[in-house]
Structure 1
Amino acid sequence: MPASLCGTWDIISNDNLDGYMTAIGISPSLQKIALKLKQRKMIEQRGDKYTIKTVCTVRSYTISFRAGEEFEEITQGLDNRHLKSLVTWEGNKLVCQQTGEKKNRGWAHWIEEDKLYLELYCEGEVCTQVFKKKGNK
């Protein structure tokens, strides 16, 4: 069984966010603002339903889904695209494949030691974010 992703997580590192944002079509002016923001993730699980909230001072984004069930997603507040998304467990990773205007788009969350990792990818660009659980030193 994979480690629980649940909890409140604060970002501690962010590698290639600008490359990822360019790939999904975020304007350079918005990228400059986004690169300065500190993100917090709140992940909840109730039965087989997951909710992931990404919160920062300017915008927040919430996604809810059931693993193994395709759903329609509008990336409101991000790049505002209409996608079909499918989240599944692949080993210890919660992986999302997104189908829409952009090719090879998705993300993966997993735990290593006491950190939450998020890999965002789109059209060959990969951003890796690392979070620590709120309250952990």
Structure 2
Amino acid sequence: MPANYSGTWDMVDNQNFEGYMVAVGIDFATRKVARMLKPQKVFEQDGDSFIIKTFTTLRNYSCSFKIGEEFEEITKGLDNRKCQTTVNWDNDKLVCVQKGEKKNRGWTHWMEGDTLYLELRCEDQICKQTYKRTA
């Protein structure tokens, strides 16, 4: 049985977010504000079906998917690009591949105890975020 990600997670660390945002194509003004944000993630998981909600004081984002099923994602509120997205299990890690304008784009989530890790990838940039479970 894969890991259960359900819960609420608050960001505690964010490394190379600027480099990732530049690679994705986010404008300077938005990057300046986004660097100061401390997102909260809420995972709702029912087996292989997920809803991941990301809340910030600037924008909120929600993504729903089922493991192994490709879907069209519009990264509204982020960089507003359309991509074909697939999320799969790699042991207990959630691994996302986003096919579209940007090369090598996607993310990986994994947990160790009450810590959630997120690695964001785009082109040659990797952003590493750490979250702590709050509920």
Give the alignment's TM-score, normalised by structure 2: 0.96
1:111 corresponds in structure 2 to 111
Residues 82-107 of structure 1: CA deviation (Å, up to 9, x unaligned): 00000000112100000000000000
> 1:14, 1:25 → 2: CA distance?
18
Give the alignment's TM-score, normalised by structure 1: 0.95
1:31 corresponds in structure 2 to 31
- The count of corresponding residues between Structure 1 and Structure 2 is 135
Deviation at 1:46, TM superposition (A): 2.3
Amino acid at match of 2:88: T
Alignment CA distance shift 1:63-1:119 (3 Å) = same
Range 45-54 or range 84-93, more displaced: 45-54
Deviation at 1:114, TM superposition (A): 1.8
Range 40-49 or range 71-80, more displaced: 40-49
1:126 corresponds in structure 2 to 126
Amino acid at match of 2:2: P
Amino acid at match of 2:93: K
Amino acid at match of 1:75: T
SS in 2 for 1:22: helix
1:1-137 to structure 2, matched below 5 A, reads 1-134=1-134
Residues 71-91 of structure 1: CA deviation (Å, up to 9, x unaligned): 000000000000000000011
Deviation at 1:3, TM superposition (A): 2.7
Deviation at 1:49, TM superposition (A): 1.3
Q: Percent identity between the aligned chains?
A: 55
Question: Structure 2: where are the runs of 5+ without partners?
Answer: none
> 2:47, 2:102 → 1: CA distance?
32
Question: Structure 1: where are the runs of 5+ without partners?
Answer: none
SS in 2 for 1:86: strand
Residues 87-133 of structure 1: CA deviation (Å, up to 9, x unaligned): 00011210000000000000010001320000000001000000001
Which 4+ stretches in 1 moved above 6 angstroms? none
